[in-house]
Amino acid sequence: MFQPATKKQLKLRLGIVAPAGAGKTFTALAVARGLVGPQGKIALIDTEHRSAEKYADLFDFDVDYITDNCAPARYVEKIHDAAKAGFDCIIIDSLSHAWNGPGGALEMVDNASRRAKGNSYVAWRDVTPEHNRLVDAMLSAPVHIIATLRAKTEYILETIGGKQVPRKIGMAPIQREGMDYEFDVVADMDHEHALMITKTRCAALDGKTWIKPGAQSELVTTLRDWLDAGDRAEPAVVPDAPVDQGAASLDNADAHRQIMREILSAQKTLAWTNEEMGVFAQATCGKPARDASLIELKTLAAALAVQIEVAEKARFA
């Protein structure tokens, strides 16, 4: 039943996108400390070869490591562990390794494709749910989440004087296309340590830039005011970490819901309109997705995975 919407107190989902040396880790720690206060507990998931420890004399935080295997499931496990342990803020440094690190999603796809004799349909069908579970873990954790993401300079080709000339248009986070949609606030940082808000659900931050924002900066106070405004939310129950969900049996209703979530996630990743999605579903299944059987939906999800693979390869070519 529909009811009037009300503003609830929130937990932050912040993404910080920057090249090496711009100050991602320091800024994440400073913002986290400002959000949780001097007595708050901060957990940091480190995939950056202990780089965060360089700031242990400046910030009080606990750390755990993901090194040799950066599969999304490892991140999910660490997020659940930190939430269960009562931490107030989790920093993921860096989320990029869940995509292109050792054992990350791209390596998982390569391995699965080899096992399937080059069939990338099967590979993405298996890996996409793992990626989605990581997104779900970040969004559902009852704590602040700050994720750092490595950046790649992004260019487009323009025709000038009859020649194709590359033009820099900004920084692209090294993660699956569309990951930035999952955050409340996304900021880019440059080598001058300037933090620029590029996407925000907090209107007071729109278009703002700060140099080396600290724990008591305007950035942090604005975030605190926005997060604390509204009715107190019901305390969230931290679920147990999933155990081998990929092997868990699902009845048809659960399987249908899961595959529809994958399809909607793929549509978001590809930035397709509902009309574009409808055309693709009709071409793939011969009918709208809402009328498709479970087998037909799986075929649609696999076809979408191939479209994402093609888009990712073109993006990082």
| pLDDT value for 123 | 80
Question: What's the confidence (pLDDT) of residue 237?
Answer: 55
**117 contact partners, CB below 8 Å, separation of at least 6:** none
Helix ranges (DSSP H) in 185-240:
218-228
DSSP summary character for residue 12: -
- What per-residue confidence (pLDDT) applies to 182? 93
Q: Are 304 and 266 in contact (CB under 8 A)?
A: yes
What's the token pair of residue 5?
């919407």
CA–CA gap between residue 303 and residue 317 (Å, rounded): 21
* AA letter at 291: D
Q: In this structure, are strands 13-18 and 144-160 parallel, antiparallel, or unpaired? A: parallel
Query: pLDDT tens digits for the chain (317 residues)?
Result: 898 988 888 899 999 999 888 999 999 999 999 999 999 999 999 999 899 999 999 999 999 999 889 999 999 999 999 999 999 999 999 999 999 999 999 999 898 888 877 777 778 888 888 999 999 999 999 999 999 999 987 777 888 888 887 776 667 899 998 899 999 999 999 889 999 999 999 999 999 999 999 999 999 999 999 999 987 766 655 555 554 444 333 345 667 777 888 888 888 888 899 989 988 888 888 888 888 887 788 888 888 888 887 787 777 66
Residue 226 neighbours by CB distance under 10 Å: 21
**Cα distances (Å, whole numbers) of residue 181 to 4, 75, 129, 269:** 25, 19, 17, 9
Amino acid at 6: T
Phi then psi dihedrals of residue 96, to 5 deg: -60, -35
pTM, 2 dp: 0.73
Predicted local distance difference test score (pLDDT) of residue 241? 54
Distance (Å, whole) CA 274 – CA 278: 6
State residue 287's pLDDT score.
Answer: 84
Please check whether residue 32 is in contact with residue 79, taking contact to mean a CB–CB distance below 8 angstroms: no
Assigned token pair, 242: 């999933």
Give me the amino acid identity at 102.
P
* pLDDT in the model for residue 246: 40
Buried b (16+ CB within 10 A) or exposed e, 282-294: eebbeeebeebee
